[in-house]
C-alpha cells in the first residue's frame, strides 16, 4: 500500500511511502518477503526446524519466530551475547520470540563472528539435529526472490526508490524489479565496506547507488537529532519509523531534498521495511543513556 507523505517539498518533489510495515503485525516488512520462499523451501525439504542467527533486538529473530509459529515449523535462534541468557524477560524482542516458541542458543560475541563457517554451523547439528538454515539477516537467493515482489507495476511512475540497507538482500530484490528509468538509492544502516560487492552478487541491473552518509555512527547507533526527527515525522504524518533502519533512511532522503540532490519533479518512493518491534528495546537503551524516548504510535 502506497501513501503520499503530506509534506510540501520545494521544486514539485513528492515523497510516497510503501507501507510494507503493515504486511503482517509480527512478520513485518521486508522480513516477511525474505522468509516467504525460505519457508516454502524448508517445507518442501520436509524440514521440521529452522535455525537462524541474530542480535538482542533483531527484527529478523522476531519475524522468524512469528513465521515459525504461523507455519508450524520449530525455530531455533542463535543469539549474539551470552550475557543475555538470564535476561530474556527484560528484552521485548527475545520475550516475544520465546512466546512464539523459539528456542534460544546464546553464544559469545567472539563465537558469533563465526556464524557463516561450516564447522560452527555443524556444531548446531550435533546439538539440535537437522535443520533448515537461514543466514543472519535472512539474506540468500530465496530472500532476494521474495523481495522482488515488493515493487508492483504501478510503481513505475516513480523516478527514485529509497530503501534502508542492512545485509543488502532487500535492495537487491528491489533493484531486480525496478524499471531502467528508475534510480534505486540504498541507505546503509551500518558501516560495511563490503556492502556494494554483496549487493552486486544478487543485483541484475546497475541503476542503483549507496548513500553512506546517514548511518549515524553505525548499526543501532542513534542521537537526539535522529530521535527528534522520528518523533516529528510521526506527529506530522502519522507514520511511525524505526530508529535502526527506516528512520535513518527517511532522514537521509529529506536531508538530500533540502541539499538539492534530487532534480525538479522527482517522485520518490520510500520503502517502509518495518522494524517497529525494535522501538521498545531501543527505548530501554535510550533510557539508560538519558536520551529522549521514541514515541510509540497512539500514545
Ligand atoms: C532487516 C531490515 C532491513 C535491512 O534489510 P537487508 O535485506 O538486510 O538489507 C531494513 N529495514 C528493516 C526495518 C529491517 O528490519
Spatial distance between the Cα atoms of 111 and 106, rounded to a whole number of angstroms: 10
Testing ligand 1's pocket by substitution, the residue of 274, 278, 281 carrying the most ligand atoms inside 8 A of its CB is 274
Q: Is the pLDDT of residue 6 over 80?
A: yes
Q: Is the pLDDT of residue 185 over 80?
A: yes
Question: So what's the pLDDT on residue 298?
Answer: 61
Closest ligand 1 atom, CA of 167?
8
Q: What percent of the chain has pLDDT over 70?
A: 99
Domains parsed from the chain with CATH numbers: 2-24+143-288 (3.40.50.1100), 29-138 (3.40.50.1100)
Joined grid coordinates for residue 94: 527475545
Joined grid coordinates for residue 204: 541484475
Question: So what's the pLDDT on residue 166?
Answer: 96
Q: Is the pLDDT of residue 236 over 60?
A: yes
- Separation in Å, CA 131 to CA 41, 43, 50, 57, 98: 12, 11, 5, 23, 18
Joined grid coordinates for residue 250: 527517511
Joined grid coordinates for residue 72: 508450524
Spatial distance between the Cα atoms of 125 and 110, rounded to a whole number of angstroms: 20
Testing ligand 1's pocket by substitution, the residue of 93, 171, 184, 245 carrying the most ligand atoms inside 8 A of its CB is 245
User: What spacing in Å lies between the alpha carbon of 30 and ligand 1's midpoint?
Assistant: 6
pTM: 0.96
Question: So what's the pLDDT on residue 147?
Answer: 98
pLDDT-derived band at 26 (thresholds 50, 70, 90) equals: confident
Q: What is the pLDDT of residues 253-296, one digit of tens each?
A: 999 999 999 999 999 999 999 999 999 999 999 999 999 999 98
Nearest CA to ligand 1 atom 3: 166
Nearest CA to ligand 1 atom 14: 275
Provide the mean pLDDT of the chain: 95
User: What spacing in Å lies between the alpha carbon of 168 and ligand 1's midpoint?
Assistant: 8
Q: Is the pLDDT of residue 25 over 90?
A: no
- Separation in Å, CA 107 to CA 3, 110, 120, 137: 41, 8, 11, 17
| For residues 131-151, average pLDDT | 95
Spatial distance between the Cα atoms of 219 and 58, rounded to a whole number of angstroms: 11
Question: So what's the pLDDT on residue 82?
Answer: 94
Q: What is the pLDDT of residues 75-102, one digit of tens each?
A: 999 999 999 999 999 999 999 999 999 9
Testing ligand 1's pocket by substitution, the residue of 21, 63, 139, 170 carrying the most ligand atoms inside 8 A of its CB is 170
Spatial distance between the Cα atoms of 60 and 68, rounded to a whole number of angstroms: 12
Residues framing ligand 1 (Cβ under 6 A): 29-31, 59-60, 137, 139, 164-171, 242, 245-246, 273-275
Q: What percent of the chain has pLDDT over 90?
A: 93
Give SS3 for 208.
strand
Q: Is the pLDDT of residue 299 over 70?
A: no
Amino acid at each position: 500500500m502506497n501513501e503520499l507523505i503530506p509534506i510540501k517539498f520545494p521544486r514539485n518533489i513528492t515523497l510516497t511511502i510503501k507501507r510494507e510495515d503493515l504486511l503482517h503485525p509480527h512478520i513485518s516488512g521486508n522480513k516477511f518477503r525474505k522468509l516467504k520462499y525460505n519457508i516454502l523451501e524448508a517445507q518442501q525439504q520436509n524440514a521440521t526446524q529452522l535455525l537462524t542467527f541474530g542480535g538482542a533486538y533483531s527484527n529478523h529473530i522476531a519475524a522468524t519466530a512469528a513465521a515459525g509459529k504461523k507455519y508450524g515449523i520449530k525455530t531455533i535462534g542463535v543469539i549474539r551475547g551470552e550475557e543475555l541468557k538470564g535476561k530474556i524477560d527484560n528484552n521485548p524482542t527475545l520475550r516475544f520470540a520465546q512466546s512464539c516458541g523459539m528456542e534460544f542458543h546464546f553464544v559469545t560475541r567472539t563465537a558469533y563472528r563465526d556464524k557463516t563457517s561450516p564447522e560452527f554451523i555443524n556444531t548446531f547439528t550435533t546439538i539440535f539435529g537437522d535443520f533448515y538454515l537461514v543466514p543472519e539477516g535472512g539474506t540468500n537467493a530465496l530472500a532476494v526472490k521474495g523481495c522482488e515482489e515488493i515493487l508492483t507495476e504501478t510503481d513505475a511512475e516513480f523516478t527514485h526508490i529509497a530503501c534502508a540497507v542492512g545485509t543488502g538482500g532487500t535492495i537487491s530484490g528491489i533493484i531486480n524489479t525496478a524499471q531502467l528509468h528508475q534510480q534505486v538509492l540504498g541507505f546503509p544502516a551500518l558501516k560495511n565496506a563490503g556492502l556494494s560487492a554483496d549487493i552486486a552478487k544478487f543485483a541484475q541491473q546497475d541503476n542503483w547507488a549507496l548513500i553512506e552518509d546517514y548511518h549515524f555512527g553505525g548499526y543501532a547507533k542513534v542521537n537526539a537529532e535522529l530521535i527528534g526527527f522520528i518523533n516529528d515525522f510521526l506527529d506530522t504524518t502519522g507514520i511511525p519509523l524505526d530508529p535502526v533502519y527506516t528512520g535513518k533512511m527517511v532522514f537521509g532522503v529529506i536531508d538530500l531534498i533540502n541539499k538539492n540532490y534530487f532534480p525538479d519533479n522527482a517522485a520518490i518512493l520510500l520503502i517502509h521495511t518495518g522494524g517497529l518491534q525494535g522501538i521498545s528495546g531501543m527505548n530501554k537503551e535510550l533510557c539508560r543513556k538519558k536520551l529522549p524516548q521514541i514515541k510509540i504510535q497512539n500514545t
